[in-house]
Structure formats: structure tokens, C-alpha cells
């Protein structure tokens, strides 16, 4: 866990979108009422859950925060994400080494360059996911739907997409 402080004026100066500022204002309103500076800055104990929530609920804003170094990356190594709804999430470059993504919904997720080594992706729905350059060495992809996924440059180890079905299969 990391204590993260974000100042509204820094977001405005950097050109945050209306959606991002509205999210900031909503979080600021939840800060302790005794905090005289709560409208000017927010303090958040940043955890894996925060990282996943904002990457899924506000993927464009998360990408913007990441590009500007405002929000820190938090390791999702070994995270239990079985059956998680991560549709459209911005997980570019995420460290998901050994994560349990069994049956997770990752349709349309941006996993460009993500480290998924040793991850369990059994039955995961990766339909249309952007996996370009992702490292999937040692990952288990049995029953994973790779239909429409961009796998260019991805290291799939001993797996491949079955062009007839779109599902992952072990190389012959």
C-alpha cells in the first residue's frame, strides 16, 4: 500500500479531462470533513484494488494518470482475480506475474507489454484483447478465448490461437 496525494490544481494544470476531475471531486467529497484542505488535495491509501478499479472503470483517465506519472504502478503479482470483470481495462505493462485470472473477462482489455508469466488464464475471455508484446511464458491458456486478440509480438511459449475456433491450444 502507498499513500498517494493528488492535488486538484496539478490535474487542472496537466489538462485532466472532465471525467477525471469529476472523479477527483467525488473522492475529495469523501475525505474527512475535518480536513481543511480536502477540496485542494486528496489522500488515498493506494492498493491493488484501487489500481484495478480505476483501470477498469476509468481506463482513459488511468492511462492519462500513468502517462504523466501521477499515479504509481502497483504490482498485481500473484493477485487472485478469478472471474474478475476486467472488460476494457487499461492494463498496459501491468505486472501480473503468476496472477490467477481463471475465467476472468478481459474482453477488449489493453494488455500491451503486460507480464503474464505463469498466470492462470484458464477459460479467460480475451476476445479482442490487445496483447501485443505481452509475455505469456509459462501461462496456462487452456480454454482461453483468443478470438480477435492482437497477439503480435506476444510470447505465447507453447500456445497458439486455433484459427478455426479462436481458442488457445497447445502447439503440436
Domain boundary among 50, 67, 84: 67
- Taking the C-alpha atoms of residue 8 and residue 15, their distance in angstroms, rounded to an integer, is 11
Residue holding cell 505469456? 136
* pLDDT given at position 156: 92
* pLDDT given at position 102: 98
Q: Are residues 31 and 116 in the same domain?
A: no
* pLDDT given at position 71: 84
Q: Are residues 14 and 30 in the same domain?
A: yes
Residues 87-100: tens digit of each pLDDT: 999 999 999 999 99
Residue 38 above 80 pLDDT? no
- Please tell me the total count of domains within the chain: 2
- Taking the C-alpha atoms of residue 83 and residue 90, their distance in angstroms, rounded to an integer, is 17
Instruction: Enumerate the H helices of the chain as residue ranges.
Output: 8-14, 18-29, 48-57, 59-67
Could you tell me the pTM of the whole model?
0.85
Domain boundary among 15, 48, 67: 67
Residue holding cell 505465447? 156
Residues 144-163: tens digit of each pLDDT: 999 999 999 999 999 999 99
From residue 107, alpha-carbon distances to 53, 67, 70, 88 in Å are 16, 23, 27, 6
Domain of residue 20: give its range. 2-67
Q: How confident is the model at residue 170 (pLDDT cuts 50, 70, 90)?
A: very high
Q: Are residues 58 and 136 in the same domain?
A: no
Q: Are residues 79 and 62 in the same domain?
A: no
Q: Are residues 86 and 153 in the same domain?
A: yes
Amino acid at each position: 500500500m502507498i499513500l498517494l496525494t493528488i492535488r486538484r490544481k496539478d490535474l487542472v494544470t496537466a489538462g485532466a479531462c472532465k471525467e477525471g476531475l469529476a472523479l477527483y471531486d467525488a473522492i475529495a467529497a469523501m475525505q474527512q470533513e475535518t480536513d481543511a484542505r480536502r477540496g485542494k488535495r486528496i489522500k488515498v491509501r493506494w492498493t491493488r484494488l484501487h489500481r484495478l478499479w480505476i483501470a477498469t472503470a476509468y481506463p482513459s483517465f488511468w492511462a492519462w494518470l500513468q502517462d504523466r506519472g501521477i499515479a504509481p504502478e502497483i504490482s498485481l503479482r500473484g493477485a487472485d482475480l478469478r472471474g474478475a470483470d476486467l472488460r476494457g481495462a487499461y492494463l498496459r505493462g501491468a505486472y501480473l506475474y503468476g496472477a490467477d485470472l481463471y475465467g476472468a473477462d478481459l474482453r477488449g482489455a489493453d494488455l500491451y507489454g503486460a507480464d503474464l508469466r505463469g498466470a492462470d488464464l484458464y477459460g479467460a475471455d480475451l476476445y479482442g484483447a490487445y496483447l501485443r508484446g505481452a509475455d505469456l511464458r509459462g501461462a496456462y491458456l487452456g480454454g482461453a478465448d483468443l478470438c480477435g486478440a492482437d497477439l503480435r509480438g506476444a510470447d505465447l511459449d507453447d500456445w497458439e490461437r486455433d484459427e478455426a475456433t479462436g481458442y488457445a491450444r497447445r502447439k503440436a
